[in-house]
């Protein structure tokens, strides 16, 4: 393999560094690199690797004259100008497999948090308040979960939810695998039916023009007053103003959000509502997911360099 050099721009699991090194790739690890320093150094590397912090803009690509591969140790490619890469025939790689179990498990955690009011119970007890009578919860068993986007994460969630004896409905613009549907007892429904009948709606679609504000006031008005939304996909898929109004007016019971229209979601008024649970974009933040993503992307880079994929 011809000697190549890679620049890792964000904090990643050390296994990535090791696998690339073992395969003869020189690695520069600069997890705190500034945008200015990246512009200066971009020309020196054939491979540029990022997680979420570093943005690979058209400017970076213009400077990265030797670049052949841009890799993201994660799923979404929102921080990479993929069009600029395509125009220069730079391969863009990501690690879809890494996060699927981590995100699906977070959804379970968020559903249980809402159903049993766990965050409110915890914060009250820390303020010496014993809210036993007020915090009457509900169970997930027998409830209807509607999954929008039956890709990697949606499918994993369907399996986990079945293990909790939930009834699972799914919607996707692409055909959903028949065998998978049979195996997990998935009910395929249209989007309006899903919003009308679900107790929990969980979103697992990419952010595209066609999915921006997919959950708007019209869709929210279809939901049952006891129903709740979970968004661990991307901020922007839910219209946060419409969501605030729907929860505040009691049209729906609540929501759990891991992703927001503006991140970090500081001073977000949804945080003033009791029915809302919020986490700071931690869907893929597990040691296991980071390790898996680093392994997957390392293998993809090595295979691409060898011309295998
Ligand atoms: P995936 O590509 O495997 O699945 C996405 C699915 O959405 C596909 O099956 C696609 O056909 C479907 N889809 C696209 N447009 C649709 C529409 N308008 N209506 C219904 N379905 C539609 O992706 P994935 O790995 O399952 O990831 C799903 C989402 O989770 C992505 O937005 C990703 O960025 C996000 N994600 C978030 C975190 C986090 O930290 N919270 C971590 C990983 C991934």
Question: Which helix (H) or strand (E) covers residue 231, if one does?
Answer: strand 228-231
Residues within 6 Å of ligand 1 by CB:
75-76, 96, 99-100, 103, 148-154, 171-174, 204-206, 210-211, 232-234, 258-259, 281, 283-284
Question: What is the homologous superfamily of the domain 4-97+287-305 according to CATH?
Answer: NAD(P)-binding Rossmann-like Domain (3.40.50.720)
Do the first three CATH levels of 4-97+287-305 and 100-278 match, i.e. the same topology? yes
**What is the domain partition of the chain in residue ranges?**
4-97+287-305, 100-278
pLDDT of residue 222: 98
Instruction: Provide the mean pLDDT of the chain.
Output: 96
pLDDT of residue 96: 85
**pLDDT higher than threshold 60 for residue 1:** no
For the chain, give the percent of residues with pLDDT over 70. Answer: 99
From the candidates 40, 263, 288, 306, which is the catalytic residue? Answer: 263
pLDDT of residue 2: 57
pLDDT digits (tens, 9 = 90+) for 55-76: 999 999 999 999 999 999 998 8
Question: Distance from the CA of 215 to the center of ligand 1, in angstroms?
Answer: 15
Question: Distance from the CA of 252 to the center of ligand 1, in angstroms?
Answer: 24
Q: State both tokens at 248.
A: 């505040």
Query: How many residues in total does the chain contain?
Result: 309
Q: Whole-angstrom Cα distance, residue 58 to residue 205?
A: 25
Residue 82's nearest CA partner among 98, 99, 94 is 94
What pTM, to 2 d.p., does this model score? Answer: 0.93
- From edge to edge, which strands make up the β-sheet containing 167-171? 187-188, 167-171, 144-148, 200-203, 228-231, 254-257, 276-278
Mutate to test the pocket of ligand 1, among 72, 74, 75 (most ligand atoms within 8 A of CB): 75
Phi, psi (rounded to 5 degrees) for 167: -90, 130
pLDDT digits (tens, 9 = 90+) for 157-204: 999 999 999 999 999 999 999 999 999 999 999 999 999 999 999 999
Nearest C-alpha to atom 4 of ligand 1 is from which residue?
151
Q: Does residue 204 carry a catalytic annotation?
A: no
**pLDDT higher than threshold 70 for residue 213:** yes
Q: Does residue 213 carry a catalytic annotation?
A: no
pLDDT digits (tens, 9 = 90+) for 111-170: 999 999 999 999 999 999 999 999 999 999 999 999 999 999 999 999 999 999 999 999
pLDDT of residue 22: 96
pLDDT of residue 140: 98
Q: What average pLDDT score do residues 75-89 get?
A: 95
Q: Whole-angstrom Cα distance, residue 226 to residue 248?
A: 13
Record: fold of 100-278: Rossmann fold (3.40.50)
Phi, psi (rounded to 5 degrees) for 250: 80, 15
């Amino acid at each position: 393999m011809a000697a190549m050099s890679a620049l890792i721009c964000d904090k990643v699991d050390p296994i990535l560094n090791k696998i690339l090194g073992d395969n003869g790739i020189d690695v520069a690890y600069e997890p705190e690199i500034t945008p200015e320093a990246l512009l200066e150094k971009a020309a020196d590397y054939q491979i540029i690797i990022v997680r979420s912090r570093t943005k690979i803009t058209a400017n970076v690509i213009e400077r990265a004259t030797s670049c052949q591969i841009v890799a993201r140790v994660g799923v979404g490619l929102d921080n990479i100008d993929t069009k600029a890469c395509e125009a220069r025939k730079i391969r863009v790689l990501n690690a879809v497999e890494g996060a699927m179990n981590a995100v699906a498990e977070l959804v379970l955690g968020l559903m249980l948090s809402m159903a049993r009011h766990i965050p409110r119970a915890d914060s009250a007890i820390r303020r010496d308040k014993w809210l036993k009578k007020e915090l009457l919860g509900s169970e997930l068993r027998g409830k209807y979960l509607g999954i929008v986007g039956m890709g990697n994460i949606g499918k994993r969630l369907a399996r986990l939810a079945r293990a909790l004896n939930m009834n699972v409905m799914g919607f996707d613009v692409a055909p959903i695998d028949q065998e998978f549907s049979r195996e997990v007892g998935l009910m395929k429904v249209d989007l309006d039916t899903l919003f009308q009948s679900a107790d929990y709606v969980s979103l697992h679609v990419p952010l595209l023009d066609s999915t921006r504000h997919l959950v708007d006031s019209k869709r929210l008005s279809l939901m049952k007053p006891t129903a709740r939304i979970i968004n661990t996909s991307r901020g922007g898929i839910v219209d946060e103003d419409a969501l605030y109004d729907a929860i505040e007016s009691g049209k729906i019971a609540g929501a759990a959000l891991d992703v927001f229209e503006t991140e970090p979601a500081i001073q977000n008024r949804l945080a003033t509502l009791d029915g809302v649970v919020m986490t700071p974009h931690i869907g893929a933040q597990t040691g296991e997911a980071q390790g898996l993503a680093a392994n997957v992307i390392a293998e993809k880079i090595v295979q691409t360099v060898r011309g295998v994929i």
